[in-house]
Structure 1
Amino acid sequence: MTEQDFILLPYPNILEEGNFSWESPSNIALVKYWGKKKDQIPENPSISFTLNECKTITTLTFTKKESNKDFSFEVYLDGNKKDDFKPKIQTFFERIESYLPFLRDYHFKIETKNTFPHSSGIASSASGMSALALCLVELEKQNVYRFFNFQAIENIDLNFFNQKASFLARLGSGSACRSIEGDLIVWGKTDSIEGSTDLFGVKYPYKVHQNFKNYQDTILLVDKGEKQVSSTVGHNLMHNHPYAQNRFQQAHNNLEKLKPILESGDLNAFIKLVESEALTLHAMMMTSMPYFILMKPNTLEIINKIWRFRQDSGLHISFTLDAGANVHVLYPENEATQILEFIKSELVAYCQNGHYICDQIGFGAKKID
């Protein structure tokens, strides 16, 4: 598909007012994307687990307005007006207007809430932008359906709906395109994955061993504050990074290596690859110019304790990191009892105010009736 495929034939805006609600999860990348080209195109492919409990719930209320000169919207987080969110939404609307031509015809009230701390390294922009994109595509779908009297519309089937929502979400936040579906989502064109594309996330198309079903992710909230360096700034620092090209190739190679691991259920090989990816992501941050460190001392304490416990117990506990200080502790469902006991007794002490989230693989966004 190309970008032009997401521009539908002209249709009138039938709906005068109303609202739609969607919930969309965050995701945690196993093979990381770091660095992007123009129009939110990734420099390298990535693959992620979709989460289940860490999600954003967004209600989009829309009212037709007389003038279509400007975008008109207000944003609320947890019931509080958030004008500081407006520049990002403004940029998002500017990027997607050619694909959703009705944006200037409505006034929007965007009400959103997270089930996890905002801006704390759990990809709130991914769940937030994907939830908003889903609401907007839902509005388009309802207008088109009403115009065509609810007859079957080839371009508005479920597959197209998800692809367009993922495509639009990407233009708000790159990793948001991986939050529409689950449980394993690939984003970025690579020869390793049939059907992969830079334009939107696709479901991982190959066999996955039972070991990875219901995989657990306990998120240790080491630091719930704002990151000192935004992901956007971090991605931009890859443009002149001395190790960028090697890193991009490494991601392609690791996706190829991951395929037989997922098929065979080789947990030890999975652990090595995923932890290496996490540390490589932070190595790119530490070797950019300017350089920065998002890990905290307690992040390192947790990692070392995980390594020691894995060696002593033989259990398949591992970690991954996003662009932040928090630690995602990954482990198979059949080892959850022992590993959770270890987490509570040894690792929670390193969390801010003892806060952590128990999550697992999920299966994508849901419309809320």
Structure 2
Amino acid sequence: MTEKDFKLPDYSYDKVEGNVVYKSPSNIALIKYWGKKENQIPANPSISFTLTACATTTSITYKKLKAVTPDFQFDLLFEGLPKPDFKPKIETFFKRVETYLPFLKAYHFKIETSNSFPHSSGIASSASGMSAIALCLLEIERDLNPDMDADYFLKKASFLARLGSGSACRSIEGDLVQWGRHSGTTGSSDLYGIKYPYKVHDVFKNYHDTILLVDKGEKQVSSTVGHDLMHGHPFAKKRFAQAHENLDKLRPILEQGDVKEFIKIVESEALTLHGMMMTSQPYFILMKPNTLEIINRIWAFRSASKSNLCFTLDAGANVHVLYPENEKEEVHQFIKNELVAFCQNQQYICDRIGFGAKRLS
């Protein structure tokens, strides 16, 4: 599909008012996306586990205006309070998607949103947040144009979410979602995420992710700035090629249930992501001393116990501990015994693979 396919024929704005609510999960990338082109196009493909517990719930109440206005009309509440610093991002998103949602200036929107996890702490709050808003808006369009089929709805929701935050396009569905054109993946696209189309071994279908909250504060360098620093990065070309190569390697690993090789790719990808941050100009470090302490303890525990737990990192200091269902008791005990002490206020989130966003009544 192309961008033109997401522009529907003219339809009337005959619905006066309504309300729609979606709960959309975050996701954790296994193959990382870092760097993008114009219009939120990724510089390399990525693949992620969709999560369950880490999610954003968004309600949009809409009311038709007496006339179409030159500006977007909306109020925004985050966790029950006005959040003026969020409004410019929503304004930018509306400008990007107006071509595909032409009703936006015909309504006033009240957007109420909340997270089940700390905002701006490296748990991809933009992914869950922007995907939830995209789904709500597309649901409004479906109310205005009921002929939209389910497959088109999912693709367009992912397409719209991408225009708000790149990784948000991977939060519409689950449990494994790939985004970015890749010659080895049928149906892959730079415009939206797709459910991973190949066979996946049962061991990877109920994976757990415990997120260790090393630092719940806002990152000193945003992901948007970090992506921009990949332009002219001395190692960018090789990194983008590496992502394609790792996606090829991952296919037989996922099919055969090769957890040992899975660990090698996932941890290497996490460290490469942060390596690109540390070698950009200007360079920066998002990991904290406790991040490194946790990684070293994971390595020591895995070596001694022959466990199959591993770590990954997003663009932040927090550590995602990934492990199979059949090891959860042992890993939970290890986390309590050795890792919780390195979390801010001893806080962590137990999560697992999920199956995408849900509309709430």
Q: Distance in 2 between matches of 1:89 and 1:137?
A: 15
Structure 1 residue 362 and structure 2 residue 354: aligned?
yes
Given candidates 175, 180, 186, the residue that maps to 1:188 is 180
| Counterpart residue number, 2:73 | 72
Per-residue deviation, residues 169-188 of structure 1 (Å, max 9, x unmatched): 00000000000000000000
| Counterpart residue number, 2:143 | 142
Given candidates 251, 267, 271, the residue that maps to 2:243 is 251
Q: Distance in 1 between matches of 2:84 and 2:111?
A: 11
Per-residue deviation, residues 201-220 of structure 1 (Å, max 9, x unmatched): 00000000011121000000
Shift of 1:14: 1.6
Per-residue deviation, residues 134-161 of structure 1 (Å, max 9, x unmatched): 000000001112xxxxxxx3xx111110
Q: Distance in 2 between matches of 1:301 and 1:103?
A: 48
Q: Distance in 2 between matches of 1:272 and 1:14?
A: 55
| Counterpart residue number, 1:8 | 8
Runs of 5+ unmatched residues, structure 2 = none
State how many pairs are aligned: 360
Q: Distance in 1 between matches of 2:226 and 2:28?
A: 17
* Structure 2 residue matching 1:194: 3-state secondary structure: coil
Per-residue deviation, residues 268-295 of structure 1 (Å, max 9, x unmatched): 0000000000000000000000000000
| Counterpart residue number, 2:332 | 340
Q: Distance in 1 between matches of 2:180 and 2:297?
A: 34
Shift of 1:18: 1.0
Q: Distance in 2 between matches of 1:311 and 1:50?
A: 28
Letter in 2 for 1:52: T
CA contact (8 A) 1:27 1:126 kept: yes
Q: Distance in 1 between matches of 2:303 and 2:109?
A: 53
1:1-369 superposed matches below 5 A: 1-67=1-67, 68-145=69-146, 153=147, 156-369=148-361
CA RMSD of aligned residues (A): 0.5
Q: Distance in 1 between matches of 2:65 and 2:274?
A: 47
Q: Distance in 1 between matches of 2:215 and 2:84?
A: 24
Shift of 1:192: 1.4
Runs of 5+ unmatched residues, structure 1 = 146-152
Shift of 1:95: 0.3
Shift of 1:65: 1.0
Per-residue deviation, residues 94-143 of structure 1 (Å, max 9, x unmatched): 00000000000011110000111111100000000000000000000011
TM-score w.r.t. the length of structure 2 is 0.99
CA contact (8 A) 1:74 1:83 kept: no
Q: Distance in 2 between matches of 1:74 and 1:344?
A: 42
Letter in 1 for 2:16: E
* Structure 1 residue matching 2:36: 3-state secondary structure: coil
CA contact (8 A) 1:32 1:277 kept: yes
**Stretches (4+) displaced over 3 A:** none
Q: Distance in 2 between matches of 1:107 and 1:84?
A: 19
Letter in 2 for 1:300: L
Shift of 1:66: 2.2
Q: Distance in 2 between matches of 1:56 and 1:161?
A: 20
Q: Distance in 2 between matches of 1:225 and 1:138?
A: 33
